[in-house]
Amino acid sequence: MWRIGVLVPAETESPTEPNIAAFRQGLRDLGYVEGQNIAVEYRYAHGRPERYSELVGEFVRLKVDLMVVGSGAPTLVAKNATKTIPIVAVGMGDPVGTGLVASLNRPGANITGLSSMLGAGFTGKLAELLKEAAPRISRLGYLRDPDNPLTAAYLGDLQTASQALGLTLRVLEIREIQKLDSALAEFGKEHGGGLVVMNELRFFPHRSRIAELAAKHRIPAIYPRRAYIDAGGLMAYWASLPDTWRRAATLVDKILRGAKPADLPVEQPTKFELVINLGVDPVQWTVNCFRGRHCTAPEGDSEVAPPWSIVAAEGTVRSSLAWDRSKIMGDR
């Protein structure tokens, strides 16, 4: 029986958690039944980067046939821990730019997987979308974990986008979670600030607090996951993580059937979600979309071509691209 290890970096420890549920369904669709023809060892880091080495070490000691690792930072730990166990990385930000793989077509070594971004420039699109939603912002804050070496690669995109949009970029480096309050309070003192939060695993367990602080200090913010919106955040734009995890099962199947990770191209996302938190403020605002190029969908347009989907916070797809603006947008 095959044995694989799955490192879940930040999500809730539950078989019904959307990402893991999608992965399990992907395995079942390919004929794998846990406990019958495959054994799956799940390990949860709960958003604590210091646990990555310990959990990866467990997989190495268990001599698993393959590792499935969520996100880029824990994948880097796994890469440094083994050169022989195949690794399927799920939701890597920029795998080439961050040095996880040699190239998308020929990743090399023992790693392949799925990216969560469309290469260089994607991070800048978050800034563009936030500026469109909150046109009065003049400053852009980038909330970053300085202990995560991979997210430094996003800074160049944000600098380029900030200059093009006429925004002043400020990097808010948070190593200790208790300093979030003071950092966002200080940033929010001056009007005109907007916030970009990337997929920092250290921040994910504290998403409710981040969303609360952004609202308290009236800072419009864009986030990398729908879970931030469920926690009260304003808007999120990212690759659909459940879809990415589901597709990871196909790579697992190919490797268990004999394919080498080095020869399996890193797959890019095919489905994105723009999620808006429906507010009660009567002021309307319009959201633009990206369909391979920058475009504005007119109000009332029900045709939102794949892979772009516009999703309301309750989970219903809206036919119009105009929503009530959340109170935290304010008139700043």
Q: Residues of the chain with pLDDT > 90: what percent?
A: 55
Least confident residue range of 14-28, 43-57, 150-164: 150-164
Domain boundaries 122-239+272-329, CATH class: alpha beta
β-bridge mates for residue 274, sequence order: 237, 310
β-bridge mates for residue 194, sequence order: 140
Q: pLDDT at residue 149 above 90?
A: no
Q: Are 136 and 143 in contact (CB under 8 A)?
A: no
Q: Tell me, which fold does domain 2-117+240-263 have in CATH? A: Rossmann fold (3.40.50)
Helix and strand numbers, DSSP H then E, in the chain: 9, 16
Q: Report the pLDDT value the prediction gives residue 294, as an integer from 0 to 100.
A: 33
Record the pTM.
0.75
| Residue where the block lists tokens 């996003």 | 154
* Average per-residue pLDDT for the chain: 82
Reported confidence tier of residue 95, pLDDT bands at 50, 70, 90: confident
| Residue where the block lists tokens 């036919």 | 319
User: Would you list the domain boundaries of the chain?
Assistant: 2-117+240-263, 122-239+272-329
- Which residues touch 35 (CB under 8 Å, ≥6 apart)? none
Nearest to 90 by CA among 63, 108, 66, 123: 66
pLDDT digits 0-9 by tens, 186-207: 999 988 999 999 888 889 889 9
DSSP H or E run through 241: helix 241-256
Nearest-angstrom CA–CA distance, 3 and 127: 42
- How many Cβ atoms are within 10 Å of 10's Cβ, its own excluded? 24
Q: Do domains 2-117+240-263 and 122-239+272-329 have the same CATH topology?
A: yes
Over residues 124-145, mean pLDDT: 92
| Residue where the block lists tokens 């980038």 | 142
Considering only residues 14 and 287, tell me which one the structure prediction assigns the higher pLDDT: 14
Q: Report the pLDDT value the prediction gives residue 212, as an integer from 0 to 100.
A: 93
DSSP 77-144: HHHHH-SSS-EEEEEES-TTTTTSSS-SS---TTEEEEESS-STTHHHHHHHHHHHHSTT--EEEEEE
| Residue where the block lists tokens 């989907």 | 309
Q: pLDDT at residue 175 above 50?
A: yes
